[in-house]
Amino acid sequence: MSKILIGRYVAGDSIIYRMDPRGKLLATIIFILFVFLANNPVTYLIVTIFSIAAVAATKLKPKVFWDGVKPLIWLILFTSFLQLFFSVGGTVYWQWTIFALSSYGITNAIYIFIRFTVIILISTVMTVTTKPLEIADAIEWLLKPLKIVHVPVDKIALIMSIALRFVPTLFDETLKIMNAQRSRGADFNNGGLVTRAKAITPLLVPLFINSLETAIDLSTAMESRGYRGDQGRTKFRILKWSNVDLINLIYFILLLGLLLIFRTH
């Protein structure tokens, strides 16, 4: 189980993989904002086409993206359902007590459905093609302006990278402790809510102690390797913009332009 996919990164090779993570992170945020610019069928079609283009550019199997949408499918359907039956306006086709099916409701439901799906798709494109470590680097870059207001960005970055590095280690540790406790008769999968919550104690307590010991060991090791806070620290891992990132930029200028042109005011 040590091959756990943190953040569900899927190895692959396509243009999107070679893009700078900072560009991808910014693009994802901007895309989500842009989606709210769409307000008529044409603009929604444009947004859909652009997100499908991004998905296609990853060259990954559609199943990967379906896995991204799946956990949120009920939320999407529930929200669309609410829009469908509770919007009032336009031609009313059918009405029963508070439920009403109107042309306005139908279009709204479709819009909401598209909005949700494209946002999830684009964020999936981002997380699936970017290593968690690169995302951490990108977040650090994005937070850099906060240095002016004395936010310890470098320390936060180090914390993020150590946290990410220990996710698989702690996961392994958890499995080991679970198996060890199981071999002494602990039962993690049966019983009611209270019984199960109690069964977790023999798992959590050693895990906590382990993490604290690891933290002490790690800090000793870091200090003996010359770590003394932020001052004078350089960075080994640096990100570089390349020509591929221009595609990202053009994509968004195009999207913004088309949305502004076809948008109804």
The binding site for another protein (CB under 8 A) comprises: 2-4, 133, 161-162, 164-165, 168-169, 172, 213-214, 217-218, 220-228, 232-238
Query: Does residue 105 contact residue 83 with C-beta atoms inside 8 Å?
Result: yes
Instruction: Tell which phi-psi region holds residue 37, choosing left (phi > 0), alpha (psi between -120 and 50) or beta.
Output: alpha
Cα distance between residue 52 and residue 117, in whole Å:
10
Among residues 4 and 250, whose Cβ is nearest to another protein? Answer: 4
Q: What angle do CA 137, 139, 144 make, to 5 degrees?
A: 95
Cα distance between residue 129 and residue 245, in whole Å:
14
* CB neighbour list of residue 99: distance below 8 Å, 6 or more residues apart: 85, 86
Q: How far is the CB of 140 from another protein (least distance, A)?
A: 13
Q: How far is the CB of 147 from another protein (least distance, A)?
A: 18
Among residues 187 and 223, whose Cβ is nearest to another protein? Answer: 223
Q: How far is the CB of 98 from another protein (least distance, A)?
A: 54
* Residue of 237, 236, 249 lying closest to 19 (CA atoms): 249
- Look up residue 188 and give its two tokens: 């993690």
Among residues 110 and 207, whose Cβ is nearest to another protein? Answer: 207
Q: How far is the CB of 222 from another protein (least distance, A)?
A: 6
Cα distance between residue 168 and residue 164, in whole Å:
8
Report which residue type is found at 35. Answer: V
Q: How far is the CB of 217 from another protein (least distance, A)?
A: 4
Among residues 166 and 252, whose Cβ is nearest to another protein? Answer: 166
Among residues 187 and 217, whose Cβ is nearest to another protein? Answer: 217
C-alpha radius of gyration, the chain, whole number: 24
- Look up residue 94 and give its two tokens: 């059918």
Cα distance between residue 107 and residue 41, in whole Å:
9
Among residues 172 and 187, whose Cβ is nearest to another protein? Answer: 172
Q: How far is the CB of 133 from another protein (least distance, A)?
A: 5
